[in-house]
Structure 1
């Protein structure tokens, strides 16, 4: 870490003019962060109604050729809410929602939120038994499926725990203009809501701090995805923190978002930033590096949401004379690499980067309110960064039995204190919830949430993200569970034993998946790699399929407690000079693994292949 990364008092003082200019919003946002009144009505549904009153004819949502005002969007969500109520759904119930980025997704979630129904935001890339697990885990009372995902649902529908008459679908079109046709076995939600009430439901004013809003699925350390409860109070805090204090849009701003809305960065951060000020959200179905800036100009966007991988892809595009020909003045997201941070801002003429750190399940968050470079920003809540022993995979405790905070500039494990104002809502599985809690940290009886992330204290309650610990790694903007991938690999024909881990590829964000596998044959060259690829493509989302396979013709190394020795594997990664095991690689655009050669390795390390 360079001295330039440390936040000093002169640096902090240099930001005072900006702070004073935006003080009302910052103060307002900070008040939202301290919400603890369990009797105050709040949440997504009420916020949409407030935005509608504030800016009824302003643009709420743009998607392809569709443009909706707040009045139109609110009325649509109300009809969905009225219909869901009519079939008996009530506060505390859950619906499964599996729709790609399009207006129908947001309208469904808002309609459900208005009557206190929790939306389980299914990851749209899930297939097979992972999809079955995610669906059944939350015990939905109904399901709303986009036409584009009906095939994936139908493949496993006989394994889903839901009555056949409770499956609804939206045609893959502008269903406000044309309800279209849906697949057999599904009710057309666009059609059945046509005669429902467009008025704000009474239930919307009876949603409170602890009422569930949606489930977001996160890959943890125990295999299959965990459903994290995201309640209305937590949404309200993000609405205040980003909408008023950090991003600070106006009703004339438009934010472009290509992020998947089954993740909190899209569904919560980018959208709430718009709703708070009655600004417009411009939604894209998929990310396209070549089309990104064309869309930004076409829709006259003044902001966009990102993850680090997105920024890297944009940065890798050939420079153009009109790179600065855009109206974007602020971007919000996480994972912008320090190596491109300043250059990225300068190239595209971006004034502010609202980098953030948060997790779907966590109780501690950081936001770059003051527009410093290379930091996830400031956190107002009680947290600590403590010394961590990577070999033992646990925090270091002193002679007194308590944990030890790191010094300024040192990396350590980030933990968030669990209090009434910063609760840890946990998972659907109580055992998994308890496993994430550290007790007797600095005093007997205290409790902290274990984020599993390494951070560096850079002063004045600011931090830098360092690395993710444990049995997950991040690739393509997604958390990958090593245990889940190991379980799938273990089920492949001819595979005897596996260990999965993430490895760094130069000039990429996150870590690519790599698996050391032991086969039931020594003739690894004639192993059925095509069959393995086909199997993995059926059972795993694309981002979770290992990029590298290391073929072990020997017993795998384990610790004294029979855990696989991953640290050495991570260090050796796919480097043919570091070990003698054969390595196979799934190159971008290829459908199957091929033997890694020194020439291909040199190409990977030199950036020839775009992962």
Structure 2
């Protein structure tokens, strides 16, 4: 059974561990609570401080490369000097199109030292979406990795830059020592950097805590990305809140991350936590379940960063005598489902799960400070959980235009109050920023960030994630939570992965539940769908049992391990996807029936009364 409430006894059991972290907590609280946006405390100063204090300690690990803090800081300095020589200054921006490798971190660090912000382009983007993302920022120049040159070439003629020589290239090598071959029309940045000095730059009117350090792209409601502003403050909050207060990182820690660095969890949370302890970050281009533990042992990792379904992939690997043959005891990230929380910890010997809740653009974050189960933790930021209109991001307002908070234990729309201390940095697009702000919520003049997420309080100000707004649907007059149904299916022992959503059936009201799943064992045609049906009948009310089941060998995901639910919804119960089987729970039956073209046509034409 999963834990759904937190009592004073639960908190008390964790106090001995908390007491051991008191020095780190006190230090972390200082950084987490800094209010002055003009303070000269930035990503660049953190790295310079670590170079001075932990100079000979490893800063970045990648394949066979090991960079100390002294070496990494000098590399970032050469980048800063080069960018300044090109006329770039505080307030300018550059675009970064690199896969996970040390060059990406060095570019962000070097640019940060002179107040230049890096737009962290999603490496899976191509064509119109990539073009949109670049033009959204209007950067001075771009740094393209050899591994992504083809993607950029596809949009090169459709994007604009402010610099006269904007196209910079980095070879897919150890670019400090190997400059590679320079493609026509590009400046070989690796070669150029070799001619610049590695001392810390002196900058008049340098960057401050509140200045933008990075732009992180988030999904837009129109399908095109939005660019969220990430200030140096967000690095500092991760440094204090996650790295010191929660993980208590130190110089002997190594955080292993396969998460894409264009994502806030990897760049801000994981790297920010690493910097707090003079720790090292070990990178891999892409996640590999089969190589994960080998890498952990290879790098001597003590911590790792997770998101989405990464932990499920690891749990689905065959058990091995080496499952606990490693030094990894901590993990930080989000999206660990309650159904696998304890099995994951017990199988792999994990002591600390620093589950968190945050968003790239938001002003509020939660951290599992007390190491409780099945919670995103708590926050010192002001927040509210309010009643909302089902299936939308809209809160319910009363006759006076005010919102109503939900009772403890009830799901509510999470809002973060916007104050001087808890500022909402928003997006580059003013209309997108304003659309995320709710005004006059509880009193005239107040302002709140609308997260669009539904959470519930489970005791002692600890929240549990319930659903993304829109990830609920109404069927048979009842509201169905996709996350709730997914958790039940997860615990069946029949599937490796399951994603639940609502689909429309002609002639019905609301949406019928549908699940796309990957069988635990065997091929698509061998899956025992009737065993699943019997299990669902035993564990779910009738209205929550998925009407449709799509069985497939793999579910496509984004680079951050999130399901492409929009594509699945569009496919519905259609049969035009090769190698898959679709089943339906037909009226007046007590089993799933495999669809053929004739039966699917009858449903589509509204000839079957659901």
- Above 0.5 in TM-score? yes
Secondary structure (helix, strand or coil) at the match of 2:190 reads helix
1:40–1:389: structure 2 CA closer, same or farther, 3 Å change rule? same
Could you tell me how far apart the structure 2 residues matched to 1:233 and 1:120 are?
A: 17
Which residue is 1:135 aligned to?
134
- Contact persistence 2:581–2:594 (CA under 8 A): no
Which residue is 1:107 aligned to?
106
Q: How does 1:281-320 map to 2 (within 5 A)?
A: 281-320=281-320
1:239–1:450: structure 2 CA closer, same or farther, 3 Å change rule? same
Structure 1 residue 17 displacement after superposition: 1.4
Secondary structure (helix, strand or coil) at the match of 1:206 reads coil
- Give deviations 1:280-305, integer Å, cap 9, x for gaps: 11111110000000110111111111
Structure 1 residue 443 displacement after superposition: 1.0
- Contact persistence 1:363–1:449 (CA under 8 A): yes
- 285-294 or 182-191: which moved more? 182-191
Structure 1 residue 221 displacement after superposition: 2.0
- 509-518 or 224-233: which moved more? 509-518
Which residue is 1:77 aligned to?
76
Q: How does 1:428-447 map to 2 (within 5 A)?
A: 428-447=428-447
- Give deviations 1:86-115, integer Å, cap 9, x for gaps: 000001000000000001111111110111
Q: How does 1:540-555 map to 2 (within 5 A)?
A: 544=564, 548=568
Secondary structure (helix, strand or coil) at the match of 2:304 reads strand
Q: Is structure 2 residue 264 aligned with structure 1 residue 258?
A: no
Task: Give the length in aligned residue pairs.
Answer: 521
Structure 1 residue 5 displacement after superposition: 2.0
TM normalised by structure 1 equals 0.80
1:386–1:190: structure 2 CA closer, same or farther, 3 Å change rule? same
Structure 1 residue 373 displacement after superposition: 0.6
Q: Is structure 2 residue 368 aligned with structure 1 residue 368?
A: yes
- Which residues of structure 2 form unaligned runs of 5+? 474-481, 491-495, 507-555, 586-591, 596-610
Q: Is structure 2 residue 408 aligned with structure 1 residue 408?
A: yes
1:544–1:135: structure 2 CA closer, same or farther, 3 Å change rule? farther
Structure 1 residue 380 displacement after superposition: 0.7
- Contact persistence 2:311–2:336 (CA under 8 A): yes
- 323-332 or 158-167: which moved more? 158-167
Could you tell me how far apart the structure 2 residues matched to 1:52 and 1:204 are?
A: 22
1:466–1:542: structure 2 CA closer, same or farther, 3 Å change rule? closer
Could you tell me how far apart the structure 2 residues matched to 1:277 and 1:155 are?
A: 41
Could you tell me how far apart the structure 1 residues matched to 2:373 and 2:565 are?
A: 33
Could you tell me how far apart the structure 2 residues matched to 1:466 and 1:389 are?
A: 15
Which residue is 1:160 aligned to?
159
Which residue is 2:388 aligned to?
388
1:586–1:372: structure 2 CA closer, same or farther, 3 Å change rule? farther
1:398–1:139: structure 2 CA closer, same or farther, 3 Å change rule? same
Q: Is structure 2 residue 185 aligned with structure 1 residue 185?
A: yes
Could you tell me how far apart the structure 2 residues matched to 1:472 and 1:358 are?
A: 20
Could you tell me how far apart the structure 2 residues matched to 1:423 and 1:41 are?
A: 18
1:168–1:382: structure 2 CA closer, same or farther, 3 Å change rule? same
Q: How does 1:94-243 map to 2 (within 5 A)?
A: 94-162=93-161, 165-203=165-203, 206-243=206-243
Structure 1 residue 206 displacement after superposition: 2.6
- Which residues of structure 1 form unaligned runs of 5+? 474-501, 519-535, 552-572, 575-581, 588-593, 605-611
- Give deviations 1:293-349, integer Å, cap 9, x for gaps: 011011111111111311010011011111011101111110111001011001001
Which residue is 2:519 aligned to?
none
- Give deviations 1:336-366, integer Å, cap 9, x for gaps: 1100101100100111100000000001100
Root-mean-square deviation (CA), in Å? 2.9
Q: Is structure 2 residue 460 aligned with structure 1 residue 454?
A: no
1:514–1:398: structure 2 CA closer, same or farther, 3 Å change rule? closer
- Contact persistence 1:515–1:546 (CA under 8 A): no
Structure 1 residue 60 displacement after superposition: 0.5
Which residue is 2:65 aligned to?
66
- Contact persistence 2:308–2:562 (CA under 8 A): no
1:34–1:101: structure 2 CA closer, same or farther, 3 Å change rule? same
- Contact persistence 2:582–2:594 (CA under 8 A): no
- Give deviations 1:192-221, integer Å, cap 9, x for gaps: 011101001112983212211010000032
1:205–1:88: structure 2 CA closer, same or farther, 3 Å change rule? closer
1:513–1:185: structure 2 CA closer, same or farther, 3 Å change rule? farther
